A and B are shown apart, each in its own frame.
Chain A
């Protein structure tokens, strides 16, 4: 008896659950496609009551509203399944975390081009200098508190503090030191500004790289450039391409590029030939060496520096984030001072024994 009762109770509970679920379930032939990042639902089913929709009037509105209700129910059901959390602490509203929008929509503007590196950035890359993160607060000894590095009430920036300006050893005794400091600051600011503008000009000069496919709004120069590139993209690099009647003939190779590609006539310019021969004799007779040693050595050093920096960077990135963090902490930590002292103590002891060993051998 009891067993049958239990079964009945369970069946009744299931019935009730199904009843409840029925109010929120919707039957559809084809599943809807959802893009929850955009709150979007796409229903591919051909609208069922197409005939009813053709006739105008309240019947059509009712049909449209029923269709909309079903689709909206499915979309809301999906949204409710997303992971929900409470925004702004325990008492805040319940928010659902949306995924990234999946539907590809065209951009407003083309993606930004990377700007060319500034002179400092090039140098830093060459030498392998990395950016160190600076703390925003600095300890101010005089005020005995933590102050900003720059800005309102900065550490050491109060003009009333600099009440004394020493006359340096080699300066004129009657020169105004304060005026000198002010002038030097103005010069520094001006130089900084000049360099900034130069970097900006360099970035602008590198200019918008014109696309080589037709965009519908290209200028005459861009079209000319595209035509030139198209001409050069043949197997013979454009030497045998037919030209339009008024198009200029092939330009000679630009710059001094290709000393071997200069085909000048033999008996043309006597003056040029004479000057060339004299220059040749002059160079042969001069005592100056043809190879500039300093420049060559500098170039070699630059190349080696760049290679070393690249290798160091690669090794660092191979060793991973934790290793890098350890290196940084080890160098700037509180223990480094003590460690440096230890090293200094050990080194004299070690070096003397080392010297002793070397002398014996």
Chain B
């Protein structure tokens, strides 16, 4: 039970909420991580700052055999995404990307790094830290294969950044492009240059910027279907409230319904036609001889 306001805020930040915090990633080095893998982790940390934690020390664990160590880290640092790098003769330059649900491992995919160009190898100007990247996935493999589909979902989750209601159009500077072809996945990062074109939409020119990775899918540990469905479930309160009596049609017209009580059409106030006004004589005849004036008593 928290004794200070600060501790209370700390716990409130970690409890389950309707609208969740941005997912943070933990970048961990395995028992025998080599230079390539370390560089990859450092570059991804630079891209994902401030929503990432980079652990400096090596941790001798094997995520595919035993997940308790990862779950412990996740609980301590409140991170739901992780990237674990290791290297051995059987699986050189190994990278395990994964995510958690309720501090337990949901999905894990092992990728091998074939080619890596680091941030500092590319001598171009970089974009500021914390830019929300544009994500593009090319290739039909990302829809055909179930494993590739999960990988796509994982990558979107990983690199998405905070969810914002509006974005400054001039600040769209970073593009992450993933191409799946020939059994490999090519990840490239470009800086966007907006050039003048004749019309309102600018012409895009790309400049190679950040880390580029050529990846090969190795082992996978995907969550079972019902667990995945459980994790996708959104609480009802988040669904947008449907306004009653309003409908839209195909052409974009909005229709509304108004409910009225039954009206006596005989008593409707229409335009006054002086010629049709009832004369007092006619009105008394209609009433059946009862004159509206009371007879005065003596």
Contact = CB atoms under 8 A, between A and B. Distances in A.
Interface string B181-197: 11000101010101001
Contact of A111 (B104, B203, B234): B234
A110 B16 contact: yes
B246 interface: no
B15 interface: yes
B136 interface: yes
Contacts of B115: 56
Given A97-B166, A98-B164, A216 B104 contact: yes
B77 to A, nearest CB: 13
B135 interface: yes
A45 B138 contact: yes
Nearest to B79: A108
Interface in B82-100: 99-100
A269 B157 CA distance: 68
A341 B259 CA distance: 38
Nearest to A104: B232
Given A38-B160, A72-B206, A109-B20, A94 B182 contact: no
B199 A24 contact: yes
B124 interface: no
Interface residues of B, number: 73
Interface in A79-102: 79-80, 84-85, 87, 93-98, 100-101
Given A39-B133, A53-B182, A72-B134, A97 B165 contact: yes
A111 B18 contact: yes
A38 B16 contact: no
Interface string B111-151: 00001000000000000000011111111101100000000
Contacts of A61: 208
A111 B186 CA distance: 35
A20 interface: yes
Interface core residue of B157, B177, B188 (most chain A CB under 10 Å): B177
A71 interface: yes
A59 to B, nearest CB: 13
Contacts of A73: 203-204
B270 interface: no
B287 to A, nearest CB: 31
Interface in A11-64: 16-17, 19-21, 23-24, 37-47, 50, 53-54, 56, 61, 64
B49 interface: no
A75 B136 contact: yes
Contacts, number: 202
Contacts of A84: 169
B137 A112 contact: no
B201 A95 contact: no
A109 B16 contact: yes
Interface in A257-293: none
Contacts of A216: 104, 224, 227
B175 interface: yes
Interface in A91-138: 93-98, 100-101, 103-112
Given A24-B199, A64-B186, A112-B17, A98 B165 contact: yes
B6 interface: no
B156 A64 contact: no
Q: Which 9 A/B pairs are nearest by Cβ-Cβ distance?
A: A20-B198, A106-B231, A111-B235, A109-B16, A68-B177, A43-B138, A108-B80, A95-B166, A39-B134
Given A40-B136, A41-B137, 12 more contacts: A20-B198, A37-B163, A43-B136, A46-B181, A56-B115, A69-B204, A96-B166, A97-B165, A107-B101, A109-B17, A112-B17, A215-B227
Interface of A: 16-17, 19-21, 23-24, 37-47, 50, 53-54, 56, 61, 64-65, 67-69, 71-73, 75-77, 79-80, 84-85, 87, 93-98, 100-101, 103-112, 211, 213, 215-217
24 contacts: A17-B198, A19-B198, A24-B201, A24-B203, A39-B135, A39-B167, A40-B156, A42-B137, A53-B179, A69-B206, A72-B175, A72-B204, A75-B136, A76-B204, A80-B169, A93-B170, A95-B169, A97-B165, A105-B232, A106-B106, A106-B153, A106-B228, A108-B101, A213-B230
